[in-house]
Chains A and B, each alone.
Chain A
Amino acid sequence: MTSPLIKRCLAVSIISLMGLGPVVLFVGVAQASYKATPYQTSRKNAGTPNSTMVKKNSDGVIIAYGNSSITYRAPSAALVTLGDALFQQNCASCHGTQANGVPANGTAGAFPDLVGLGPATINFWVDSGRMPAANPRSIEAIRRVPRLTHHQALAVSAWVNSLSPSYPDIPYPHLKNANVADGAALFALNCASCHTIEGDGDALAMSTFSPSLRKIPSIEVAEAIRTGPANMPRFTGNLSDAQVNDIVKYVTTEIQHPNNPGGFGLGGLGPVAEGFVGLAFGVGILALAGFWVGERDD
């Protein structure tokens, strides 16, 4: 006679094995599909967009250009020395002492060449805390608290730009002149297909993802649109400065501080969270209420 306890234990272990199996399989597949191919901004020199005002210094070098929507300003040349020092401390171990990238043990294109990318690109990556990278081999650099201050980030971009001056310069949007309704329409047309219409970001193919836009400062939003970091497309010809300004205004006002009545937003997960709450809270609590009202005899 086998004891029922042993039988039950056997059943439980079989259940847990059967439950665990698919999980192990799932994790295995997830691991197998994970291939480390480093991120980079491959495009060079986005060029100068249409400008109504161009400011040059005494040597005839363009230091600022733009219009009533966005002013693009090159970082001050006085910061170059500081930038050089900071670059050698924080960036050179991967990108090389001349910012031209180094081939890292056989991985083609790893640690990209930064020369000629323009100050906006360098400033975006450093200011958003993505560089220096948390894990240089991860598929996507993760936004975190920046290691360098804004001033230091400007210095680094000033030095990299001094190696081969190029564009775009760092965009400073004038949000007072922007139209938030046009921004909403442009956002739905150009940005929502990856960042989602509520700007929460989501997973894209092969471990890449579109980040949440909930806490991005306006300069970085404009920089991202104009330079196209990592997987993001670079929007130059198809969006005018006025339109970029509209989008930046929509993102920094309505996405980040939405006029959003109706109670708790449920994490912006949309119908997934709604279904969960509707079933778990709605039907669940009501079933419990029925349990309370009804009898529970055998």
Chain B
Amino acid sequence: MSDVINTQRAKKQALGPYGRVGKSLDELDDRLGLARGGRTFMDKIFPDHWSFMLGEIALYSFVIIMVTGVFLTFYFIPSSALVTYHGSYLPLDGQKVTQAFSSTVNISFAVRGGLLMRQMHHWSCDIFVGAIVVHMARVFFTGAFRKPRELNWTIGLTLLILAIGNGFFGYSLPDDLVSGTGIRIAYSIMESIPFVGTYMAFFIFGGNFPGTSTIPRFFILHVLILPLVILGLLGAHLFLLVRQKHTQFPGRGRTEKNVVGSPMFPVFMAKTTGFLFIVSGITALLGAFAQVNPIWQFGPYDAARISYAVQPDWYMGFLDGALRIFPSWSFMAFGHTIPLEVTIPAVIFPGIIFNIAYLWPMLERKFTKDNEIHHLLDRPSDRPKRTAAGVTVLVMLSMLHIASSTDVIANFFHLSLNAVLWGMRILTVILPIVAYPLTYKLCKELQGVRGAGKRKTPNIVSRTAEGAYVATPTPAYGEDVGHELEATPVPAYIESEPEEPLESGVRTVDR
């Protein structure tokens, strides 16, 4: 053979344009046929608008929660068994504490990097729920939940509830004085549900409060069951996102029939990986420099002990605030206590809020009679009623959230606690009522402002021969002209035809 390949260059050429990696991928594709799906995935178009990154904060926080959480499970002991603490934190030396508490203190003081992991886990949870809420607000106010994306709205809302629930379970696990108070409140809220409350509380907490089964049960819910459900729903959330493609803001070259943006590979991949590092970096900074939940200061939970100035984590704040400011309506009837002071603010009120949120896409379809498929987003000011309704609910929840720190406000501003309580009661009722017409009016005003939300363009001022000055607005910035990425058509997957069977039960499918 005359053409023996032995030079470096010839060897390289034989491997093809993508080298060794390309060749092995090629071999893989010959057997598994991944290229076709991979191509679609790599070409998935992501709109470039910054507000589409908000959901990714939540996604990457969840990744950080998983990683730090796995680390914590190596050292945490989910048991209510009492042990005598003999660790490095002196004020607890010789105290009888549960294993859950003792192991959490040990994670903080004795495990290398344990406190950093604990604090990162806690901070990323705060950020996780916060990012979900902000992402949800973006989806709501721009109308991204409309047909065909109602299902994804439902999944997202369920994810929010699960995140709040799992945050509460995790917060309760160290069995410290503050979280024990939280479990006590959760138990009472559950008991306040009419007819089934007591049975439910006994079923979930495994008996009367405090009991010894709460911590093990919360642990398995916190580290296995809820994360699995969240992971599954997250997968469904992202699958639907790819299947239905992104929404986009209206703009040059963007229509209901296309998606304009950067492809998954290489542009968005680089962007989003960088963003993952930003999210984990900020979380690590918080975990390293900002103390969160110093349980060693709180000490172990004991039903006889109580600390003043106890608030839940921020995402439970609206419930705590509602409980704080609701009037104490409680009475005896039919041989039972009817605790309306708990049932209304902590069961009925959140029930109404979340049900309205679940039903919102349907309600909006019903009222606007708009059954069209929408891929272009609304400017919030163009839908004043929806925006006003959203702002109203957000204002109400924010006021309730602020009401969960009545004592801190009173102490900080040297006010009477009673005055703050009454002030919050009044504000929680009045501000949402004020917020609706105000937002509605503001939206209407914004609609009238010419060029609102558009980039301002320069005026060219010139002097005429007669000495008059004329300002001519230029159409746009130079860089904006022709700034159009290739549009990908939306596939007609909705009208896929069913195949005709040859004979009953037999079908032929192309390879």
Name A's B-contacting residues (CB within 8 A): 4, 7-8, 11, 14-15, 18, 22, 25-26, 29-30, 32-34, 180-185, 188-189, 192-198, 200-207, 209-210, 250, 254, 258-266, 269-272, 274-279, 281-283, 285-287, 289-298
Q: Is B492 an interface residue (CB 8 A)?
A: no
Are A286 and B305 in contact, CB atoms less than 8 angstroms apart? no
Name B's A-contacting residues (CB within 8 A): 48-54, 56-57, 89-95, 108-109, 115, 119, 122-123, 126-127, 130-131, 134, 177-178, 249, 251, 271, 274-275, 278-279, 282-283, 286, 288-294, 296-299, 302, 304-314, 317, 404-405, 407-408, 410-411, 415-420, 422-423, 426-427, 430-431, 434, 438, 441-442, 445, 448-449, 453-455, 480, 483
Are A287 and B57 in contact, CB atoms less than 8 angstroms apart? yes
A145 to B201, CA, bound (A): 52
Are A25 and B453 in contact, CB atoms less than 8 angstroms apart? no
Are A286 and B131 in contact, CB atoms less than 8 angstroms apart? yes
Are B438 and A18 in contact, CB atoms less than 8 angstroms apart? yes
Q: What A residues does B426 contact at CB under 8 A?
A: 22, 25-26, 29
Within the complex, which residue of B94, B308, B404, B422 is in contact with A195, where a contact is CB–CB below 8 Å? B308
Smallest CB gap from A253: residue in B: B91
Are B90 and A33 in contact, CB atoms less than 8 angstroms apart? no
Q: Give the residue among A15, A207, A250 with the most B Cβ atoms within 10 A.
A: A207
Given A22-B430, A293-B274, 8 extra CB contacts under 8 A? A26-B423, A192-B305, A193-B306, A196-B308, A197-B297, A202-B309, A275-B313, A282-B126
Whole-angstrom distance between the Cβ of B164 and the nearest chain A Cβ: 13
A30 to B406, CA, bound (A): 13
Are B313 and A294 in contact, CB atoms less than 8 angstroms apart? no
A285 to B282, CA, bound (A): 8
Are B297 and A201 in contact, CB atoms less than 8 angstroms apart? no
Q: Given A297-B251, A298-B251: A286 and B57 within 8 A (CB)?
A: yes
A103 to B178, CA, bound (A): 45
Whole-angstrom distance between the Cβ of B276 and the nearest chain A Cβ: 11
Q: Give the residue among B94, B278, B317, B453 with the most A Cβ atoms within 10 A.
A: B278
Are A282 and B130 in contact, CB atoms less than 8 angstroms apart? yes
Provide a sorted-by-A list of 20 A–B residue pairs whose CB atoms are within 8 angstroms. Answer: A26-B427, A29-B419, A33-B419, A33-B422, A184-B299, A193-B306, A207-B417, A250-B91, A258-B297, A261-B109, A262-B108, A262-B119, A263-B290, A271-B311, A282-B126, A286-B282, A289-B278, A292-B50, A297-B480, A298-B455
Ranked 5 nearest A-B pairs via Cβ: A275-B314, A294-B50, A290-B53, A278-B126, A203-B410
Whole-angstrom distance between the Cβ of B303 and the nearest chain A Cβ: 11
Q: What B residues does A287 contact at CB under 8 A?
A: 53-54, 57, 134
Are A29 and B278 in contact, CB atoms less than 8 angstroms apart? no
Q: What B residues does A25 contact at CB under 8 A?
A: 423, 426, 430
Q: Given A271-B311, A272-B405: A266 and B130 within 8 A (CB)?
A: no
Q: Given A285-B282, A290-B57: A278 and B123 within 8 A (CB)?
A: yes
Q: What B residues does A295 contact at CB under 8 A?
A: 48-50
Q: Given A30-B423, A285-B282: A181 and B92 within 8 A (CB)?
A: yes
A11 to B442, CA, bound (A): 8
Q: What A residues does B122 contact at CB under 8 A?
A: 274
Are B93 and A181 in contact, CB atoms less than 8 angstroms apart? yes
Are B286 and A282 in contact, CB atoms less than 8 angstroms apart? yes
A207 to B413, CA, bound (A): 11
Are A298 and B249 in contact, CB atoms less than 8 angstroms apart? yes
Whole-angstrom distance between the Cβ of B45 and the nearest chain A Cβ: 13
Are B448 and A4 in contact, CB atoms less than 8 angstroms apart? yes
Whole-angstrom distance between the Cβ of A276 and the nearest chain B Cβ: 8
Whole-angstrom distance between the Cβ of A29 and the nearest chain B Cβ: 5
Q: What A residues does B480 contact at CB under 8 A?
A: 297
Q: What B residues does A192 contact at CB under 8 A?
A: 177, 305-308
Smallest CB gap from B47: residue in A: A295
Smallest CB gap from B402: residue in A: A272
Within the complex, which residue of A188, A277, A296 is in contact with B290, where a contact is CB–CB below 8 Å? A277
Are B123 and A282 in contact, CB atoms less than 8 angstroms apart? yes
Are A263 and B91 in contact, CB atoms less than 8 angstroms apart? no
Q: Given A271-B313, A281-B286: A30 and B455 within 8 A (CB)?
A: no
A273 to B286, CA, bound (A): 13
Q: What A residues does B50 contact at CB under 8 A?
A: 290-296
Are B417 and A203 in contact, CB atoms less than 8 angstroms apart? yes
Are A260 and B91 in contact, CB atoms less than 8 angstroms apart? no
Q: What B residues does A269 contact at CB under 8 A?
A: 309, 408
Q: What A residues does B448 contact at CB under 8 A?
A: 4
Q: What A residues does B91 contact at CB under 8 A?
A: 180-181, 183-184, 250, 254
A184 to B94, CA, bound (A): 11
Q: What A residues does B310 contact at CB under 8 A?
A: 270
A32 to B410, CA, bound (A): 15
Q: Given A33-B418, A270-B310, A287-B54: A279 and B126 within 8 A (CB)?
A: yes
Q: What A residues does B298 contact at CB under 8 A?
A: 197-198
Within the complex, which residue of A197, A270, A292 is in contact with B311, where a contact is CB–CB below 8 Å? A270
Q: Given A274-B126, A278-B123, A287-B57: A181 and B94 within 8 A (CB)?
A: yes
Q: Give the residue among A194, A266, A290 with the most B Cβ atoms within 10 A.
A: A290
Whole-angstrom distance between the Cβ of B246 and the nearest chain A Cβ: 13
Q: What B residues does A188 contact at CB under 8 A?
A: 177, 299, 302, 305, 307
A289 to B411, CA, bound (A): 35
Are B289 and A275 in contact, CB atoms less than 8 angstroms apart? no
Q: What A residues does B278 contact at CB under 8 A?
A: 286, 289, 293
Are A189 and B251 in contact, CB atoms less than 8 angstroms apart? no
Are B108 and A196 in contact, CB atoms less than 8 angstroms apart? no
Smallest CB gap from A139: residue in B: B416
Whole-angstrom distance between the Cβ of B378 and the nearest chain A Cβ: 14
Within the complex, which residue of A8, A181, A275 is in contact with B317, where a contact is CB–CB below 8 Å? A275
Whole-angstrom distance between the Cβ of B323 and the nearest chain A Cβ: 15
Within the complex, which residue of B109, B417, B455 is in contact with A205, where a contact is CB–CB below 8 Å? B417
Are B290 and A266 in contact, CB atoms less than 8 angstroms apart? yes
